[in-house]
Structure 1
Amino acid sequence: MAENKKLLVLCLEGMLQSWGTDAKWDIRDTGDMPTKSGIVGLLACAMGLERGNPEIAAMSDAMTLAVREDRAGTRLVDFHTVTGNPLMNAAGKRRSLGDTFISQRQYLQDASFLVFIDCADDWRERMIYALQHPKWCLYLGRKSCVPSRPVLVGVTEEYTDIAQALQTYPIQTKRRDPRGNTKQNCRYESEISNTGDSTLSRSDVVLADGYRRFARRRVWRGTVKEVPYVSE
């Protein structure tokens, strides 16, 4: 009989979330699921690790994770008018298109995601302590996106692996289906191979060079059926 895993469980829930996948220049997008770099960044923030600290990349390499969408969010596009006198570009030169531009920033409204993390005991204990005693304020992808509930759910030893946890771990949000259903179908994204119906390549693995550059990883996507809500 396979020994059960100790899995760290997080809940990412808030009025707004933003998980950039190709956020450059005037358009700041959000993916429909939290990115690995965003989750690692949240944990690094709790630990008080400065950008470029090699421990951030080490933590990313040490974990295997999956994300389940317990409540789908709706997409919001916020328009900002930015003016400078003069307005400089990233190279430190005056913009050729003028000193005013409109920036689009995308968010997910009212979404809730469950995150399962499989890692070594020392990393897991360090993550738990940091989330209980965060060094810096936590946010969901962007500093304006604060969690509406504690991020740390706890540790579960009830499942043999992440794939099984995705199937049956109860939905944590208390906002039930308006039709009174006690179960629902949930989309997910997992690093465990062959767990989903399709694959996707994501550029969100933190590199150790200290710059905002990322390596690619493959994730599996699918849907789990009839996941129960947590008992009240």
Structure 2
Amino acid sequence: MDILLLRFDAPLMSFGTVMVDQHGPIDRFPGLSLLAGLFGNALGYRHGDGPALDALQSRIEYAARWDIEPQPLLDYHTVDLGQPKMAEPGWTTRGEPEYRTGGPSAIQGIHPRYRHYWANGVLTLAVSLAGDHPPGAAALAEALNHPARPLFLGRKTCLPGAPLLLGRTEDRDVLSALCRTPLARRFGRPPPTKVFACWPAELGERGGARRVSVYDRRDWRNQIHAGRRQRIEGWLECSAP
């Protein structure tokens, strides 16, 4: 199996999950839709390229672990949508103006927001793309090294602090590849003996890990959540750094 090894190292990361009202909760690990959006952005896909993003999302299989545990951070802020400047078009990295659309609630009133983040953590991932049709692992690796647009880890404020791609390897599955990848280290911190991780449900439970339901797939054509899947979450023994 052709596998890409990635490392998310950023001051802030935000792995959004099902949102209700003004709260923007996050998951412990990035979802399939987040990875599809990240990879699609690197490849030059647009948000409206529903068929291409759906196809990419359906091919992603990954395992992930926290090499350095993050700290939860809650950002509370308010926005006055009635300000004149809020009616003006916004700047985008694609060089086109972005306008605010919707009903009265989108253009007036003061809106409170609670945004959740993971702060100061380091996450390592092993990712594969099922099937032989493009893009393949080589094309995705090239795109991550030379992305079509700036990349971010969840929200646009979550910019990577280091290149995402660690390397490319061959292994029997993504969990095996993840277990063979050395841990990230930070000066002054002793290496952990175990790390919290997730991996595909098809690879089975081990060492007290449990099966959990997640809602991380997106119907990109219709811009809605696309149901439930299961993964395994638990503790893994660490490789030597």
SS of the aligned residue for 1:10 comes to strand
Question: Residue 137 of structure 2 is aligned with which of 124, 147, 157?
Answer: 124
Which residue of the partner structure matches residue 70 of structure 1? Answer: 67
- Could you tell me which residue of structure 2 aligns to residue 216 of structure 1? 228
Is contact 1:72-1:111 (8 Å) kept? yes
Q: Is contact 1:51-1:210 (8 Å) kept? A: no
| In 2, Cα distance between equivalents of 1:76 and 1:132 | 29
CA 1:9–1:93 in 2, change beyond 3 Å: closer, same or farther?
same
Q: Deviations over 1:155-184 (max 9, x none)?
A: 012x3222222333211x231563x44x53
Q: Which residue does 1:134 correspond to in 2?
A: 147
Aligned partners of 1:214, 1:177: CA distance in 2, in Å?
Answer: 43
Structure 2 residue ranges without an equivalent (≥5): 87-100
SS of alignment partner, residue 216 of structure 2: strand
What is the CA-CA distance between 1:20 and the residue it aligns to? 0.8
Q: Return the structure number with greater strand share.
A: 1
| 1:228 equivalent in alignment to 2:212 | no
| 1:160 and 2:157 are equivalent in the alignment | no
- Corresponding residue to 1:175 among 166, 186, 190: 186
Number of residue pairs aligned between Structure 1 and Structure 2: 219
The answer to whether structure 1 residue 59 and structure 2 residue 56 are counterparts is: yes
Question: Residue 160 of structure 1 aligns to which amino acid in structure 2?
Answer: R
Deviation at 1:226, TM superposition (A): 3.1
Residue 104 (structure 2) aligned to one of 86, 90, 93? 93
| 1:12 and 2:27 matched | no
Distance 1:224 1:74 in 2: 20
Structure 1 residue 210: Cα displacement: 3.9
Q: Secondary structure at the match of 1:223?
A: strand
Write the distance in 1 (CA, Å) between the matches of 2:105 and 2:219.
31
Aligned-pair identity in percent equals: 24
**Unaligned 5+ residue runs, structure 1?**
none
Q: Which residue of 1 aligns with 2:97?
A: none
- Give 1:60 deviation, angstroms: 1.1
> Deviations 1:42-91 (Å, cap 9, x if unpaired)?
1111011111311111011112111111111101111111123389xx85
CA apart distance, 1:213: 2.6
* Cα 1:214/1:100, change in 2 over 3 Å: same
CA contact (8 A) 1:163 1:195 kept: no
State the one-letter code of the partner of 2:65.
Answer: R
Cα-Cα RMSD: 2.5
- Secondary structure of 1:104's partner? strand
CA positional deviation for 1:117 = 1.2
What TM-score do the two structures reach when normalised by structure 1?
0.84
Contact 1:184 1:228 in 2 (8 A): no
